[in-house]
Structure 1
Amino acid sequence: MDLLALADFNLVARHGGFGRAARAAGRPKATLSRRVAELEGALGLRLFERGARTLKLTEEGRALHERTGLLLAELDETAAAIALGGAKPRGRLRISAPLLFSQVAMGRLAAEFAGKHPEVRLEVTTEDRPVDMVEEGYDLVIRVNPDIDDSLVGRIFLRDRLVVVASPGLGRPAANRAVPAVVRGLSGGDAWTVAAAGGRSRICYEPVLRLSSLIMVRDAVKAGIGAGCLPISLVSHDLTEGTLVHWGDVDGPDIALWTLYPSRRLLSVRVSAFLHHLKQAFPNGSPDELASYVTGRSSP
């Protein structure tokens, strides 16, 4: 396969037309059209549907663009790094991160990373939904307890745990009596199983508020309207200050934050630099480190 023709095809696909691609690259439109036609002839496939005023990728063209576009970009980056005699991070780095982690930590992490690597254009999108990394153009995603995906490579960089907390004025209920609770969204269940000094116990609850953000849940719990189940990193400072009291650790696995990237991609210098940045911020990946980072205090 002619790699130059493949590069021209991806250029046209990326810009959505021969004219726009020609203007962006400073290349003749006729040359791009000829090279793409030669590639279609060599493959025996139609890669674009050509209309009077529109140009649209065929299903085969879309598959080829998705599988080769990022690889060609990485080859260009590798060649540029070798030519410059080093692997200095530069260019765009797109990251998708979950809502709560973004709200409490990503702003500071992004600012520190930008200070270390001024030639990287960092873009962070906040969302909890699963994303298609290739289709949506992400270099790295951060997710909480993600489902297994053979197309992705992942590693845990941080752990957190859930605790049940309440304001000091809200008394813990007697056995089998429900406590008013603030929950996130449409959380199911009617009891928390917690481990405390006296062993495991069940805390029955009745939702009085349903909120979409864990930060809102924490603030409502601090206001005394009900108990809540929250990550320790989000309430550690309040427990230390006495504005919240600890009713027990939720019985179950820890919350694990993962970094993920496509398994078929070479790990870019930019992604490697950001993974190293996370490791420096959270060397042990413990809940206490995240709590300390959120509050700006040194971990014990």
Structure 2
Amino acid sequence: MHLAISLDIADDDGQDILDFGQISAFVRNLEAAGVDMVIISDSTDAPSTSPFEATTLIAALATVTEKIGLVASASTLAHQPYNLARRFASLDIISHGRIGWNATMAQNPREAANFSRSEGFSDEDFRRRAAEYIGIVQGLWRSWDTDALLFDKAGGRFHDPDKMHFLDHKSEFFSVRGPLNIARSPQDTPVLVMSGLVEAEFDFAARFADIALLDAVSLANAKAACDDLKRRAATAGRGPNALKTLATLQAGPEIGTDRLDHLLTAQGCDGLNFALPADLSALDDFTDRILPNLRRHNPARSAHAGATLRDHLGLGAGGER
């Protein structure tokens, strides 16, 4: 069972601001416990319990960790697709292939007002725009074949032109020429995590996501949604290892040892994503109470074999059908 932790650094509950030392210590504890990845949530319109923008934070975390995957949320409203694709491709090189992008399909109606769209988008327009945006980013990540860069000084060839791909995207919301000016990712492409999904977006997620995070009212509901996504992925022609599904649960004090044991052995989704706020008491409680059980269930965690986040998760290459 794969394990992820979602750390919500956009929290206005009046908690003390976390510094980098506190966050990095917590992430290193997760790494030692065999957790596959930590997901840093973010918002451009709310008070925060962390002074860090999410992609900046995972860049710093990449320098103090070695194995754990580092996933940052980044809004499709707050960034142009070319800049976002370039940022995550750079982060993936810095981290030696441990980076993912969490693209949420849930619209924050206040966020658009910070980026010259005070009227926002209708739900349908936001959905279509986000789908176009994600397709552009994934296309830009594939601008260069893995063997496109030759660095042939004697022959005067920097790259093989046949292995460089212009995107030339022109559609309803965006026009992007490409190619990306960053080499191919160490893990083929950064991992695409999709969250905030409603059923209307399941077909799109089943076709393009590497990881689908599902809000779970109950394990039974989560299992049904995970099975549905897997069926849709198979219908879209994707292989059995192309999409992983994780059920999201709030990591509060109500998760006792017995319930945790049940969660960690339950069948259905590919794993669990524990969501917790970024306040020190929540981090300390998780470290003291839940992490020991995760270590007990995952001695010598084999998921950390291999160098990249895709290796950890048993995913195929980016965009694998």
Q: TM-score, normalised by structure 1?
A: 0.24
- TM-score, normalization by structure 2: 0.23
Which of the two has greater strand per residue? Answer: 1
Structure with larger Rg: 1
**Which structure is higher in RCO with an 8 Å CA cutoff and minimum separation 6?**
2
